[in-house]
Every structure is written in structure tokens, then in C-alpha cells.
Amino acid sequence: MSNLLNNRLNDAFGQLISTELSPFHNDFDFQLFRGQDATQLDIIEHKDSLEIVLEAPGFKNSEISAEIEGSTLVVSAESEEKSIPEESKYLKKQIKNKSFKRFFELPDYCTKSKIEAKFENGMLCISVPKKKPEKPKKVKIL
């Protein structure tokens, strides 16, 4: 019951932040508090690309996933449960499995097919290239 209430509050608060307070709410909508953990992130706009940098300490490369679903970039991670031998038992267990899931609504000016991601030292860096502006085309009038 407590988890259900907590998830609903997080979703409601995340929607408020992403739609009302985010400087990107029209072009680059991201939602905080989606999933079990809200990882810290930076979003940097360069001349030719957008860069998303997420903190993901304690995760392995194989535990992180980035997928495009329509115009949404979905980044998620889930750590593997550490197993102990059957004859052993925990005297104290405070380290929990970690997970997160973040959603990024990509603007139309992004080239989704050329997104690249690199994970190093607990930091996930995603580069989202911008489309090159089309040059004006002269139309021949008959």
C-alpha cells in the first residue's frame, strides 16, 4: 500500500515538474521520479547535438539499456541481485538492488537513428545529433 501511494505521488510530482517547471517542457520533456530511483542528470545543448549525462554509479554496462520508442528515448538500468551461498545468511542487509527508468521526449530536430551512448566510470553519456537544417530549394514554376 505504501509503495503504491509513493509511486502515485512520485508520478504526479514528476508530471508537475516536467510540464510546469522544466525549461525544456515544450521541446525536450523529461520526467523526474519515473521508476524506482531518480538518477541525477545534465542535459547540454551543443551546436550540432544534445548531450544527456546520467549518473549511474554501481551499475555494469550490461545492466543499462537505452531504447527508442517512437519519439521517446527510454533509459533504464537494474542491478543484479548479489547471491550468497545457501549455507550463508545475512546478519544485516542494507544494500538493495538499484534500478531507474527515465523517459526523454525527443524534439523533431533530433536524428534518432544516430544516437550514441557511452558508459564509463559510472556516468552514461548519450549524444543525440541534431538534423542539419535543410537548404532552401528553388521550385521551378511552370
Give the start-to-end residue ranges of the domains of the chain.
Answer: 2-80+98-129
Q: Which residues of 30-42 are buried (b: 16+ CB within 10 A; e: fewer)?
A: bbbbbbbeebebe
Percentage of the chain surpassing pLDDT 90? 44
Q: Which residues contact 88 (CB under 8 A, 6 or more apart)?
A: none
Q: What is the mean pLDDT of the chain?
A: 79
4 pLDDT above the threshold of 50:
yes
Question: Which position has the higher pLDDT, 125 or 27?
Answer: 125
Q: What is the pLDDT confidence band of residue 12, given thresholds at 50, 70 and 90? A: low
pTM above 0.75, yes or no: no
How far is Cα 124 from Cα 100, in angstroms, rounded to an integer?
13
Average pLDDT over residues 78-97: 86
Contact in structure between 130 and 50 (CB atoms under 8 Å): yes
* Helix residue ranges, H only, the chain: 2-16
Residue 14: what pLDDT?
58
Average pLDDT over residues 97-102: 87
CATH of region 2-80+98-129, choose from 3.60.15.10, 3.40.50.1820, 3.40.50.300, 2.60.40.790: 2.60.40.790
Nearest to 79 by CA among 101, 61, 63, 103: 63
How far is Cα 100 from Cα 90, in angstroms, rounded to an integer?
25
